[in-house]
Chain A
Amino acid sequence: MACTKTGVSIAVMLSLSHAAYGGDLEVLIRDEAGNPVEGAVVELINTGLPQPADWPQSAVIDQINKEFVEPVIAIVAGTSVSFPNSDDVHHHVYSFSPTKRFELPLYTGDPAAPVVFETPGVVTIGCNIHDWMVGYIYIGESHLMAISDMEGVGKIVDLPAGTYTARMWHKGLGVGQELTEFTVEVPAAGVAQHSVSLTEQPAFATRRAPLPGLRSY
């Protein structure tokens, strides 16, 4: 539901910034069995549409109950992200991803400085204390992005009519194959719907649930 919130907030921001335009784009993302896929990022690239001057330059990924509150966020290149720790224990946030390597060793409360993500791509973040904590930051070239909600719908509103190239990413697409591209037609008014079928690669998640140990006596 965190993804949903982010998706909605991006859609709202788009709606406020492009009130002059008319067409909406809804991308419906389903897996092979037809089930909606949550947390997929849709980005429109090479649009030539300028980014509004007041577009947010910062984002937040909070940590509560030893989890990242936002498992997926989508930001424009150049955005700074802060990683506050709302738990009363240490976290140690890091990324190995070539797009952005960083480490915020052992902290409680707010870390010293936010991290700036300059290069488009995908960054996987983790916590070195709680191995099960994992999150994804999608860094877009453009500001025209949405994250699919529980119904598998990513919505970008108030677009000028035309043909767009869209790019989609989901964590389940596997390393190196995360990005798929497609073109969509957006009308001057109304909603353009586009369906994407996604072949999810099953992925292992680090287990948080306890395992019995052996009593040695």
Chain B
Amino acid sequence: MEIKVNRDSKDPHRSLIKSAVVLLCVLLLQPASSLRAAESDAILSVRLAHHSNVPNAADDFNTFSDRLLQVDYNRDWRFVTSPGNWFSVGLLTQGDLWQQTSGMNRLAAGVAVGYSHKFGLGPEAPRLNLRSQWLYQEFDGSVRSGPVHSHSAALSRWIADNIQLSGSWSWTAQSAPSRRELLANPAFDVDVFNQEQQQLTIQADYLLYNSHALSAHLSATDGDTGASARPGSALLRIGEAIARDNGIDRGYLAYRVEARRYAAGLQWSMPLSMDSSLSLGAERRLARADAGVRYRETRVHLDYLKRF
């Protein structure tokens, strides 16, 4: 068996240097008055989630579910440069703790820069948000470890007093440098987690009189995805890269698969105070790859958010 991939493993240091330069440029471009009146927000997000198909397995035999705790602590500094224009820089820290799949436990830290523009005055004026972020993530099962960066553009607008529509596009790339020591077979290529995806999302938020919010979203993602299964799976026919998956473990192999993934989700969110909220959401995902291979997953999550 031969799986041929000609991808260079990306240098994580190059990505970090690039982000530091962008950050510095954004800061240097700010007028002094804008820097002095920078608005700083920190958001703590604690999520309890259940994922029905942790390995993205294409068949019941390899599918298993697990619960996880996700804790994010992000701090943003926003600089209003002129009416309707904001620049922001942010520091991001994230942690995932799985109940059983300890190889997927993850710590990540990184930076973000953003620009927002509001087309006019008032809450109903449309908004454009551009954001880039660079993270370094370390998994207990190191095959996935490496930098991940993304760029996104989102346009949102309140079309009625209580209905907001938004559309966003994002591009994400992650690289996990080749780890020859993870080879299950010398013929395998281990660049499974060198992946790129593009995603389009549309979301509608419906606000109730008590400020509870109901949200629905649809998204389509095109590009690479990682799927894992025990040897002998249909993924072998379409996998562009393969490695022993020390994140999932249990003898699983990880494959990089070219797939189109669709997701639909619903969420209900209630404010607990001016700056905190509790939300419950669910998302159904379906991914289609070549040769009729597909996998499904349902994710359910409960979120507590607190802004400081």
Closest residue of chain B to A65 (Cβ to Cβ) is: B274
* Interchain CB contact under 8 A, B303 and A209: no
Distance in angstroms between the alpha carbons of A210 and B306 in the assembled complex: 7
Of A29-37, A102-110, A162-170, A186-194, the one contacting chain B is: A102-110
* Interchain CB contact under 8 A, A217 and B37: no
Is A128 an interface residue when CB atoms closer than 8 A count as contact?
yes
Nearest CB of B to A176, in Å: 15
* Interchain CB contact under 8 A, B209 and A96: no
* Interchain CB contact under 8 A, A212 and B303: yes
* Interchain CB contact under 8 A, B305 and A103: no
* Interchain CB contact under 8 A, B271 and A207: yes
Q: A212-B279, A216-B172 given as contacts; is B148 within 8 A of A202 (CB)?
A: no
Nearest CB of B to A78, in Å: 26
The one of B83, B271, B272, B303 that contacts A128, using a Cβ cutoff of 8 Å? B83
Is B52 an interface residue when CB atoms closer than 8 A count as contact?
no
Nearest CB of B to A65, in Å: 9
The one of A89, A128, A216 that contacts B121, using a Cβ cutoff of 8 Å? A128
Neighbouring A residues of B205 by C-beta, 8 Å: 211
* Interchain CB contact under 8 A, B123 and A129: no
Neighbouring B residues of A202 by C-beta, 8 Å: 209
Is A100 an interface residue when CB atoms closer than 8 A count as contact?
no
Nearest CB of B to A150, in Å: 19
* Interchain CB contact under 8 A, B213 and A207: yes
Q: A204-B209, A209-B273, A210-B275 given as contacts; is B39 within 8 A of A94 (CB)?
A: no
Neighbouring B residues of A106 by C-beta, 8 Å: 80, 82-83
Closest residue of chain A to B137 (Cβ to Cβ) is: A217
Is A19 an interface residue when CB atoms closer than 8 A count as contact?
no
Distance in angstroms between the alpha carbons of A202 and B211 in the assembled complex: 12
Distance in angstroms between the alpha carbons of A154 and B72 in the assembled complex: 48
The one of B39, B152, B272, B273 that contacts A216, using a Cβ cutoff of 8 Å? B152
* Interchain CB contact under 8 A, A88 and B83: no
Is B15 an interface residue when CB atoms closer than 8 A count as contact?
no
Neighbouring B residues of A209 by C-beta, 8 Å: 211, 269, 271-277, 305, 307
B197-216 contact mask (Cβ, 8 Å, vs A): 1 or 0: 00101000101010101010
* Interchain CB contact under 8 A, A94 and B281: no
Closest residue of chain B to A131 (Cβ to Cβ) is: B123
Neighbouring A residues of B118 by C-beta, 8 Å: 128
Closest residue of chain A to B123 (Cβ to Cβ) is: A131
* Interchain CB contact under 8 A, B305 and A94: no
B211-229 contact mask (Cβ, 8 Å, vs A): 1 or 0: 1010101010000000000
Is B175 an interface residue when CB atoms closer than 8 A count as contact?
no
Majority SS of interface residues in chain A? loop
Is B256 an interface residue when CB atoms closer than 8 A count as contact?
no
* Interchain CB contact under 8 A, B122 and A212: no
Nearest CB of B to A132, in Å: 8
Neighbouring B residues of A103 by C-beta, 8 Å: 121
Q: A128-B118, A212-B305 given as contacts; is B211 within 8 A of A217 (CB)?
A: no
Closest residue of chain A to B96 (Cβ to Cβ) is: A215
Question: Which residues in chain B, 34-86, are within 8 Å of chain A measured between CB atoms?
Answer: 36-39, 43, 45, 47, 70, 72, 80, 82-84
The one of A129, A203, A210, A216 that contacts B80, using a Cβ cutoff of 8 Å? A129
Is A112 an interface residue when CB atoms closer than 8 A count as contact?
no
Is B161 an interface residue when CB atoms closer than 8 A count as contact?
yes
The one of A88, A205, A211, A217 that contacts B150, using a Cβ cutoff of 8 Å? A217
* Interchain CB contact under 8 A, B209 and A210: no
Neighbouring B residues of A131 by C-beta, 8 Å: 122-123
Neighbouring A residues of B305 by C-beta, 8 Å: 209-212
Closest residue of chain A to B209 (Cβ to Cβ) is: A202
Give residues in B with beta carbon < 8 Å to A: 33, 36-39, 43, 45, 47, 70, 72, 80, 82-84, 118, 121-123, 125, 135, 148, 150, 152, 161-162, 170, 172, 174, 199, 201, 205, 207, 209, 211, 213, 215, 217, 219, 267, 269, 271-277, 279, 281, 301, 303, 305-307
Closest 4 CB pairs of A and B: A209-B271, A131-B123, A209-B277, A89-B39
With A212-B279, A217-B148 already in contact, 13 other A-B pairs whose C-beta atoms are closer than 8 Å:
A88-B37, A92-B83, A108-B37, A128-B118, A209-B269, A209-B271, A209-B272, A210-B306, A210-B307, A212-B269, A215-B70, A216-B172, A217-B150
A-B contact pairs, 9 of them (CB 8 A): A89-B39, A126-B123, A128-B122, A209-B272, A210-B43, A210-B305, A211-B305, A212-B269, A216-B172
